[in-house]
Chains A and B, each alone.
Chain A
Amino acid sequence: MDSGVREEAARWSASGVGYERPYFAFLLNTPALLIIVLLAGYPIVYSAWISLHKFSLKRPRVFDFVGLANYRQILESEEFWSALWITLEFTALVVVLVVVLGLAIALLLNRDFPGRNIVRTLILLPWAIPPVVNGLMWQWSYDSKVGALNGLLVSLGLISEYRGWLSYPLSALLALVCADVWNAMPLAVVLLLAALQRIPVELYDAARVDGAGPLQLFSYVTFPWLAQPLLIVLILQTLSAIRAFDVIYVLTAGGPGTATTTLTWKTFLTTFDSLDFGLGNAYAYTVSIITLGLALVYFRILYRRGDFEA
C-alpha cells in the first residue's frame, strides 16, 4: 500500500508538478517575490542611492552626487546623537517594562484561578488597538486641564493641582513609554505564556520531589525553558520600539523641544518637514543598519534552534 502511494507520487512528479520541480516552486513564489522585490528590495537600494546625493524637494532639480557627505553631516550633528540617545532611553525603558510586565502577567495567567480565562481574553485588547488610537487615548488621559490622570491623582490626594504631563521633557518621555508599553505588552504575554505551557508538568513534580522551593523551581525549571522566548521577545520588542512612530506623532510630536525626538521621528522630520530627502534617507539608512544588525541576532537565535531550515 505504502509503496503504491510512493509510485503514484513518483508518477505525479514525472507528470510535471511534483515535490522536486524548482521552476514550479519559483512559479508559486513569483507574485509574492515580485511585490517584495519591487516595493521593498528596489526602494531599499534606491534609498541608499538617494542618501548619497544632495536632494531636496525645495529644489527638486538639484540631484548632485555628494558621496558620504550626508552621513558625515549626520555623525557630526548634535541632533543625531541626541536622537540616538533618546531612542536608546525610550527603547530600553519600553523593552524592560514590556519584558518584566509581560513575564509577570504570563506567570500569573499560567496559574489556575477563578476568572483566569476572562483575563486571558482581555489581554488581547491593547494589542488590537491601532497605535494612532492608542496615542489619542493616552493624550486624552494625560491632558493638562481635564485629563483623567490628573483627575485621578488629585482625587487620591497624590498631587495638589493639575499638571501638563506632556510639557516637561522627563514626564513626556515617561508618558510616551507608558503609552507604548500598554500597546505592546500583550504580544510578550502571548509568546511567554505559550512557552510556559510547553514546559512538561513532570519536570516540576520531579523537582518538587527533590525538594526544590519556588525560587529554585523558577530558576532551574522555568527559566531555562523561557530563556529563548524571552530573547525573542526582547529582540522583537527592541525592533518595534526603534520603529515607534504613530504614537509619537499623536502624543508628543517629538517634543517638548526635542525631548522625545527619536531617530525614527528625526528621519520623518528631516524628510517630510525640512523636505531634505538626501539627508532624510541617510538618517533612514542609519536606522535600517541598526535594525538589520538586531535582526541578524534574531536570525541567529532561530537558526541555532535548527528551525530556520525546517
Chain B
Amino acid sequence: MTARWIPEAPTFSERASKLLLMLGGLLVTIYILAPFSWLVLTSFMHEQDALSVPTQWIPANPTLSNYLTFFDPSGTRAVVGSRAAEQTLPSMVNSLIAAGGTAVLNVIFGALAGYSLARITFRGRGVLLAVYLGSRMLPGIALIVPLYLTIRAYGLLDHLSALIITYLTFTLPFTIWLLKNYFQAIPRSLEEAALVDGCNWWQMFWHILLPAAAPGLVAAAMFAFMTAWNDYLFAVILTSTIASKTMPVVVAGFATDVTTERTLMAASGVLAVIPPLVFAFAFQRLIVQGLTSGAVKD
C-alpha cells in the first residue's frame, strides 16, 4: 500500500465493520466478566439479600462482614459453617507456602536441566526430552493411589513438604521445556565471553546466563505457582487437617456443604482467586509468551 498524506474519511462499510468488531468485543467482555462479577458482588452482600427473589444484582447494603468473619470467626456473627471460616486464612498461608516453595525449587531444578538440554550435546538427550514431555501427559488420577501409599509409608501425609514435592513432579517438565527454549534463544557468545573473562561455569551460570533468562524464570515460577495454587485432587487426598489443608480444599468444603452461608462461600472464593489473578494481570505478556512456547516451540 502506498502512503497518503491526507487520510481518507472512513467509508460507511469501514465504520460499520469497526462497530461490529466493537460489539463482538463487548460480548466477549460480558461473557468473561458476568459470572465472575456475580461471585464478587455476592461476597459483599448480606446473606438475606443474596437469597432474595427476584435476584438482587447490585448489593443494596454492601458489607465487608463476610471478609471480616475470616479474621474473627468466633466473633459477633453466629456463622453457619464457622469451621470452614476459621480455616480460610490459615489455609491461604498453607497455599502460599506450598505454591511459593514449588515455584522456587521448580525454577532452580528446571534451570539446571533446561540448560543441559539447550546447550550440551550428549547421548540420551532425546530420551530425556521424551521423558519430560511424556510425564507432562500423565493424568494425575492415575498416580494418586501409589503416591498416597508411598507418602503414607514415609509418614508425610498431611505435610506441606509432600505437597511441594508432588507439585514439582507436575510442574518441572513444563518448566524444563520452557527454559530450554529460553536458553536456546540466548547467544552462546555471551557465555563464551564470560569464560574468556575468567569466569568458571557456576559464575557464568549465576551472573550471566540466569539474569539474561530472567523473563523465562519469572514465567516458569508463575506457572508453577499457579499449578500448585490451583490443585485440588492431590491436596484433598494428601492433606487432612489445617496443618496442611490448602485453599481449594477449604473452598470446596464450603461449596459442597449445603448449610454454609452463600455469601461467606463467595468471599472465600474471591480470596482464593486473588493471588493467581494478580500474577496473571501483572505478568500478562510473559504468560502469553510462556503459554505459547510451552505448547508449541517457536
- Chain A interface residues (CB < 8 Å from chain B): 4-5, 8-9, 12, 17-22, 24-26, 28-29, 31-33, 35-36, 39-44, 46-47, 50, 105, 108-109, 111-116, 118-119, 121-133, 135-141, 143, 145-146, 148, 150-152, 154-155, 162, 182, 187, 190-191, 194-195, 205, 228-229, 232, 236, 239, 242-243, 245-246, 249-250, 253, 264, 267-268, 271-272, 277, 280-281, 284-285, 287-288, 291-292, 294-295, 298-299, 302, 307-310
Interface string of B231-260 (1 = CB under 8 A from A): 011000100000000011001101110000
Q: Is B21 interfacial (CB 8 A cutoff)?
A: yes
Q: Which chain A residue shows the least CB distance to B115?
A: A28
B76 in contact (CB, < 8 A): no
Inter-chain contact A155/B145, CB cutoff 8 Å: no
Partner of A124, one of B126, B280, B292: B280
Measured as residues with beta carbon below 8 angstroms from the partner, the interface class of chain B is 35 or more
Q: How many A-B residue pairs have CB under 8 A?
A: 315
- Check B288–A22 contact: CB distance below 8 A: no
- Shortest beta-carbon distance, B256 to chain A, in Å? 7
B1-55 interface with A by 8 A CB criterion:
1, 18, 21-22, 24-26, 28-29, 31-33, 35-36, 38-39, 42, 50-55
Q: Please, which residues of chain A bring their CB within 8 A of the CB of B169?
A: 35-36, 39-40
Which of B80-88, B193-201, B211-219 lies at the binding interface? B193-201
- Determine whether B77 belongs to the interface, using a CB cutoff of 8 Å to chain A: no
Asked if B166 is an interface residue, CB under 8 A from chain A, the answer is yes
Cβ–Cβ contact B139 & A242, under 8 A: yes
What are 5 A-B pairs at a CB distance below 8 A?
A19-B120, A20-B120, A46-B149, A287-B141, A307-B296
Is there contact, CB below 8 Å, between A264 and B124? no
Cα A265 to Cα B24 with chains together (Å): 36
- How far, in angstroms, from A211 to B136 measured CA to CA in the complex? 46
B24 lies within 8 A of A108 (CB): yes
CB-based contact A129/B277 at 8 Å: yes
> Is A29 a contact partner of B195 (Cβ separation < 8 A)?
no
The answer to whether A250 touches B277, judged by C-beta atoms less than 8 angstroms apart, is no
B103 within 8 A of A: no
Q: Check A146 against B52 for contact (C-beta < 8 Å).
A: yes
Q: Which residues of B contact A (CB under 8 A)?
A: 1, 18, 21-22, 24-26, 28-29, 31-33, 35-36, 38-39, 42, 50-55, 57, 108-110, 112-113, 115-117, 119-126, 128-135, 137-147, 149-150, 165-166, 168-169, 172-173, 176, 184, 189, 192-193, 195-196, 200-201, 226, 229-230, 232-233, 237, 247-248, 251-252, 254-256, 262, 265-266, 269, 272-273, 276-277, 279-281, 284, 287-288, 291-292, 295-297
B273 touches A130 (CB 8 A): yes
Residue of A nearest to B256 (CB): A250
Q: Taking the nearest CB of chain A, how far is it from the CB of B185, in angstroms?
A: 11
- Quick check: A29 and B142 within 8 Å, CB to CB? no
* B113 and A245 within 8 A (CB): no
Question: CA separation between A126 and B277, bound complex, in Å?
Answer: 9
Known: A36-B132, A137-B38, A151-B55. A113 touches B237 (CB 8 A): no
Tell me which of A129, A228, A295, A307 contacts B273 (CB under 8 A).
Answer: A129
The listed residue (A17, A32, A272) touching B172 by CB distance below 8 A is A32
Q: CB distance B120 to A24 under 8 Å?
A: yes
Closest residue on chain B to residue A284 by CB atoms: B142
Find out whether the CB atom of B145 lies under 8 angstroms from the CB atom of A190. no
Given contacts A36-B132, A125-B280, contact A25 B122 (CB under 8 A): yes
Would you call A127 and B280 a contact (CB within 8 A)?
yes
Chain A residues near B192: list those with CB within 8 A: 5, 8-9, 12
- B-side contacts of A8, CB under 8 Å: 192, 195-196
A245 to B32, CA, bound (A): 22
| A191 with B291: CB separation less than 8 A | yes
Contact check, B22 vs A125: say whether CB atoms are below 8 A apart. Answer: no
> Are A285's CB and B142's CB within 8 A?
yes
Q: For the complex of A and B, list the 8 residue pairs with the smallest distance between their C-beta atoms, beginning with the closest.
A: A151-B55, A43-B146, A295-B137, A22-B122, A128-B280, A46-B146, A113-B21, A28-B116
